[in-house]
Amino acid sequence: MTTTDDQPAATRAMPPIVDRATWQAARDELLVREKAHTHEGDAIAAARRRMPMVEFDGTTEVVGADGPVPFIDLFQGRDELLVYKHMWHDGAPLQGQCEGCTVTAWQLKDAVYLNARGVSFAILTEGPWEEVPPYLEFMGYTQPWYSVRGLDEPIGGAMGHLTSFLRDGDRTFMTYDITGRGTEMAGPSFALLDMTPYGRGEAWQDNPEGWPAGDSACWYWRTDASGRPGSDTTRPAPQWTRPGAGPVTSLGRHEHHH
């Protein structure tokens, strides 16, 4: 976003100023659409619950902190499992891992409400396990992570996905999978930004005339220490909160050596 805090308010593009009654009328009009959006979301969720599922071999081993374990162990005795599949840049420094996956995983640090509903949670990554523990320590992650390197879908395969699984005794099934903007449901920050006047600050937004020009999608994924994108000393934004975070110039690449 190009607007800065020290820019005079008179020169900023801002919503029109009205009295409270006029504002309330506009709010009530928008609420009708918001309720319809909520109801359609409920209908989609109902259709999702009616989808078929695919059986797979739950004895397939993945690698975690305790070494190789069968995938079915990730259910932790529960019947449902939700995973996020985290991309990985082989050999990259800690600050060089995937920005989008960092944003998503950072917002999935606590699964207490999932667990309360009988759903276990884990993060899977295509990275080699020996590279994962230092990253988890740096980020402060406590959720279970597992390497699925070399494994096919639905356990491995493409990363950047949210995938849901169901267990029936010793049998395991994949019930749902989504990627792209469908993973936004894992990050409340997106919806919260959509409630603000300037939104996400991305170029694709439908903005009023004169609104601050947006940048490319996900410009805030990687910033420097001052919150500015695009410099040579950037890293995924959540990483600046970690102890010892500092400027870096060596970033990761999609180079996998299987």
Residues in the chain: 258
Residues 6+ apart with CB under 8 A from 57: 71, 172
Asked if residue 223 is part of any domain, the answer here is yes
Comparing CA positions, the residue from 250, 252, 251, 248 lying closest to residue 90 is 252
Q: Which pLDDT score is estimated for 218?
A: 60
Asked if residue 58 is part of any domain, the answer here is yes
Region for residue 34 given its phi and psi (left: phi exceeds 0; alpha: psi -120 to 50; beta: otherwise): alpha
Asked if residue 40 is part of any domain, the answer here is no
d(C-alpha 177, C-alpha 85), whole Å: 10
d(C-alpha 234, C-alpha 221), whole Å: 9
Across 96-199, where does the E strand assignment appear? 119-125, 145-147, 162-168, 171-178
Asked if residue 27 is part of any domain, the answer here is no
What tokens appear for 146 in the block?
Answer: 């597992």
Asked if residue 196 is part of any domain, the answer here is yes
Q: How far is CA 149 from CA 157, 161, 192, in A?
A: 9, 15, 34
Partner residues linked to 86 by β-bridges? 125
Asked if residue 31 is part of any domain, the answer here is no
**CATH code assigned at 242:** 3.40.30.10
For residue 244, what are the domain limits?
53-207+214-258
d(C-alpha 105, C-alpha 46), whole Å: 26
Asked if residue 34 is part of any domain, the answer here is no
Is residue 112 within 8 Å of residue 248, measured between CB atoms?
no
In tens digits, what is the pLDDT along the chain, a chain of 258 residues?
444 455 555 578 999 999 999 999 999 999 999 999 999 999 999 999 999 999 999 999 999 999 999 999 999 999 999 999 999 999 988 877 887 888 899 989 889 999 999 999 999 999 999 999 999 998 889 999 999 999 999 999 999 999 999 999 999 999 999 998 899 889 888 899 999 999 888 888 899 989 888 776 665 566 666 666 666 666 777 777 776 655 554 445 444 433
Asked if residue 162 is part of any domain, the answer here is yes
Domain count, the chain: 1
